[in-house]
């Protein structure tokens, strides 16, 4: 009985602390924090409090979005470290859908990023692939193919799987303008990474002579359209930069692991925009096909 009373007491104390913290987050969002105060408000949360905060935010999507997007910071680099990170980040260039050329073939990514110019590295370092009508198994094959054919120079592939949404798209797109009806399908992702020896900057190979690859899965939205606010797609500085550059310019694991965190609400906003754009594309495509059909009818 004493252990149960102690547990109830801890839960009650945690609830009070989370209530105060939630109120403070709302005040900051609404501009009601004291003027002249520091822009950084440091709060050390116990694991029980952090879990409770995440659970409470799950009931308030707007406040959760503000918390994840605007005010949460997990560690702040020092001034010297920050300058080095900024210098490296500025050399990361988006190549869009530029074809990736291999010996005798080329692949067309949905998006890619390269550190520096073609003189620095032949292939992009990071590639993003999206499965819409494409089967998820083919997404995995493409990701591994990119890493294998580049010998690990393409070190990270982010695979976004919207195929489950595509399968119900004909029904779903008619519900996008009705907030009380389901308007999302399943969304998941896998981050594929080549494995490197940080001492030599060389990719590690398996017994078949292929680059070793790790996979990190994420599920952001299930088949019923329910999102998981605890999911965070975490990319690191080293995902975008050649291993040799990291070894030369980045001293210490902490800088190498500086993160770009994409939380569920951020990803789902991109997803919602993609669906809205896809609906417009489908409507325009249908209208264009109808016009062509009518023109052919007049000619006949």
Q: What is the pLDDT of residues 135-150, one digit of tens each?
A: 999 999 999 999 999 9
143 touches 110 (CB < 8 A):
no
Residue 35: the pLDDT is 47
Answer with the residue of higher pLDDT: 37 or 68: 68
Kindly list the domain boundaries of the chain, sorted by start residue.
2-71, 79-284
For the entire predicted model, the pTM comes to 0.70
Contacts (Cβ under 8 Å, ≥6 apart) of 58: 64, 229
Residue 37: the pLDDT is 47
Q: What is the pLDDT of residues 77-94, one digit of tens each?
A: 555 666 777 788 888 999
Query: Residue 198 corresponds to which tokens in the numbers above?
Result: 């940080």
Q: Does position 293 have pLDDT exceeding 50, yes or no?
A: yes
* Partners of 156 in the β-ladder: 126, 193
Q: What is the pLDDT of residues 219-278, one digit of tens each?
A: 999 999 999 998 999 998 889 988 878 777 665 455 666 788 899 999 999 999 999 999
Compute the half-sphere exposure of residue 72: CA atoms within 13 Å on the CB side of its CA: 19
Contacts (Cβ under 8 Å, ≥6 apart) of 233: 158, 189, 191, 218, 220, 261, 262, 263, 267
* Partners of 232 in the β-ladder: 263
């Amino acid at each position: 009985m004493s252990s149960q009373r102690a547990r109830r007491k801890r839960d009650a104390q945690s609830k009070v602390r989370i209530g105060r913290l939630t109120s403070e987050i709302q005040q900051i969002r609404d501009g009601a924090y004291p003027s002249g105060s520091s822009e950084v408000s440091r709060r050390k949360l116990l694991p029980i409090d952090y879990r409770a905060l995440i659970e409470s935010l799950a009931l308030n999507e707007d406040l959760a979005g503000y918390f994840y997007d605007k005010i949460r910071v997990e560690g702040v680099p020092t001034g010297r470290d920050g300058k080095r990170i900024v210098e490296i980040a500025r050399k990361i260039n988006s190549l869009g859908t530029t074809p990736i050329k291999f010996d005798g073939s080329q692949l067309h990514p949905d998006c890619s990023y390269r550190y520096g110019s073609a003189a620095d590295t032949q292939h992009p370092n990071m590639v993003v692939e999206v499965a819409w009508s494409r089967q998820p198994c083919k997404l995995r094959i493409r990701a591994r193919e990119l890493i294998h054919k580049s010998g690990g120079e393409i070190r990270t592939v982010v695979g976004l799987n919207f195929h489950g949404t595509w399968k119900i798209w004909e029904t779903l797109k008619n519900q996008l303008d009705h907030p009380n009806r389901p308007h999302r399908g399943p969304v998941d992702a896998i981050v594929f990474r080549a494995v490197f020896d940080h001492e030599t900057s060389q990719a590690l190979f398996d017994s078949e002579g292929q680059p070793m690859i790790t996979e990190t899965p994420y599920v952001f939205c299930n088949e019923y359209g329910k999102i998981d606010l605890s999911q965070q797609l975490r990319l690191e500085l080293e995902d975008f930069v050649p291993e040799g550059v990291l070894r030369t310019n980045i001293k210490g694991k902490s800088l190498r692991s500086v993160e770009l965190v994409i939380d569920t609400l951020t990803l789902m906003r991109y997803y919602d925009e993609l669906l809205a754009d896809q609906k417009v594309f489908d409507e325009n495509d249908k209208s264009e096909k109808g016009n062509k059909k009518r023109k052919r009818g007049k000619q006949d």
